Amino acid sequence: MSSPTTHPGGAAGFRGVFALGGAALPVYSFLARLPAALCPTGTLVLINAREGIGRAGAVAAALWLGQALGGPVIGRLADRRGHRPVLLAACTANALVLPALVAAVLAGLGLPVLVALAAAAGLTVPQIGPLSRTRWAGLARGNPRLTGSALSFDTTLDEVGFVVGPALAGILAAAVHPASALLLAAALILLAGTLFAVHPTAPGPAAGPATPARTRLWSPGLVLLLTMALLQGAAWGAANTGVNALAAALGSPGTAGVVWAAMAVTSSAAGFVTVARPGRGDLTTRLRWTVVAQALLTLPLLAVTGPAGAALAVAGIGLAVAPHLIALFGLVERVAPAQRLGEAMTVLGSGLITGQALAAALAGPLAAVHDHRAAFAVACTAMTASAALALTRANRARPPLGLEARPGSAT
């Protein structure tokens, strides 16, 4: 890609975002990242139908772990080699591994084989979401409002995907075959992922006074943002576990997915509002108030006794989720070195995944011994800790923390 064009007077909002990369780029980006939402649910559904929930949980965990470990590696390679060759290789590998996992399940192969294939599927996830945010940040560089709108739009696409993906996986499993979601994911990642990879906006290797390998990635600010991403993921993982425990206790486990989708719906709506009306507030200030709002909105979970109350509670939480993630990823664009921005974005994405996995591992046994409120308490604790960090550390008066803009970034 040629050097990003600056847009000092360009419009923000949807018009400005679509003017940056054209109408096709968001379509390719959305379809290519949909497999990330299809695969976990599709894996659980397929293996649970064939082998039982015990094996399904172990295989799904391997997929998530592989994605968390592989994400920063793919991000770093994309920074060093350019998006196009790295994404093409990852999309091809992922599209081959997913059908292999389906074939292994249908053939009744042993758990070690399934875990290994699931881990390989996670390791080769092309990281479309984080790299898409990197691409938008480069295209909009020079216009802070447009950068904010572009990152807001892209983060909202993730939220929409996590509404559509699990629902689509469930529908396909019921109407077609339990393996259909994983096969659809493989087709999407091969077709849409390839189109995203070869789109003219794909950046080449990072250029600058220092190569990505020699540019220092970590700063106190990035460590702080990663910690907040881990806590955000932990809140999701524990709350989702609590919703599932409640649904199972009431004898209607199928309602858990519908209840959890309420959060993604309200979060997506809040994200689109943020794109349409980006505002002029400082990102650090937005980070503080969105995480505090989310911590307060998480507390009603402790009083939930049924699916209707759970749906209302998680819908309320969703109002603050997308704005919080938008501020979080927006600050990554400011504190990370430009030469390693893709790696920084994938590191944060891996933090979200790791937090979910760790919290689910803790909240599940607690919910089994006590009840769903124990899992919800873990979610409340994680968000309270995140709010405390935001209030005490994410402060513009403390530039050593690294939340000030780096030279050449949007301010």
Q: Where are the domains of the chain?
A: 16-205, 212-411
Interval 78-99 mean pLDDT? 93
The CA-atom distances, in angstroms, between 174 and each of 101, 197, 244 are: 20, 32, 19
* SS3 sequence of the chain: CCCCCCCCCCCCHHHHHHHHHCCHHHHHHHHHHHHHHHHHHHHHHHHHHHHCHHHHHHHHHHHHHHHHHHHHHHHHHHHHHCHHHHHHHHHHHHHHHHHHHHHHHHCCCCHHHHHHHHHHHHHCCCCHHHHHHHHHHHHHCCCHHHHHHHHHHHHHHHHHHHHHHHHHHHHHHHHCCCCHHHHHHHHHHHHHHHHHHHCCCCCCCCCCCCCHHHCCCCCHHHHHHHHHHHHHHHHHHHHHHHHHHHHHHCCCCCHHHHHHHHHHHHHHHHHHHHHHCCCCCCHHHHHHHHHHHHHHHHHHHHHCCCHHHHHHHHHHHHHHHHHHHHHHHHHHHHHCCHHHHHHHHHHHHHHHHHHHHHHHHHHHHHHHHCCHHHHHHHHHHHHHHHHHHHHHCCCCCCHHHCCCCCCCCCC
Task: Write down the pTM of the prediction.
Answer: 0.76
Q: State the pLDDT at residue 137.
A: 79
Q: State the pLDDT at residue 411.
A: 33
**Which of 8-22, 46-60, 247-261, 301-315 has the least mean pLDDT?**
8-22
Q: How confident is the model at residue 96 (pLDDT cuts 50, 70, 90)?
A: very high
| Nearest residue to 212 via CA among 327, 114, 313, 83 | 83
Question: Topology of domain 212-411, per CATH?
Answer: Growth Hormone; Chain: A; (1.20.1250)
**Which of 126-135, 147-156, 208-217, 375-384 has the least mean pLDDT?**
208-217
Burial class (CB in 10 A: 0-12, 13-18, 19+), 288: buried
Q: How confident is the model at residue 397 (pLDDT cuts 50, 70, 90)?
A: very low
Interval 284-305 mean pLDDT? 91
**What is the distance between the alpha carbons of residues 367 and 240, in angstroms, rounded to a whole number?**
11
Q: State the pLDDT at residue 400.
A: 38
Structure tokens at 280: 């002029």
CA dihedral for 172, 42, 127, 186, sign (positive or negative): negative
CATH superfamily of 16-205: MFS general substrate transporter like domains (1.20.1250.20)
Q: Quick check: 282 pLDDT over 70?
A: yes
Q: What is the pLDDT of residues 184-230, one digit of tens each?
A: 999 999 999 999 999 998 888 765 544 555 667 778 888 899 999 99
Name the most confidently modeled range: 52-66, 214-228, 369-383.
369-383
Higher-confidence residue: 267 or 297? Answer: 297
Q: Do 355 and 231 touch, CB atoms closer than 8 A?
A: yes
Q: State the pLDDT at residue 107.
A: 92
Q: State the pLDDT at residue 118.
A: 92
Q: State the pLDDT at residue 388.
A: 92
Q: What is the pLDDT of residues 105-122, one digit of tens each?
A: 999 898 899 999 999 999
Q: State the pLDDT at residue 112.
A: 92
Asked whether this chain's domains 16-205 and 212-411 adopt the same fold, the reply is yes
Q: State the pLDDT at residue 405.
A: 46
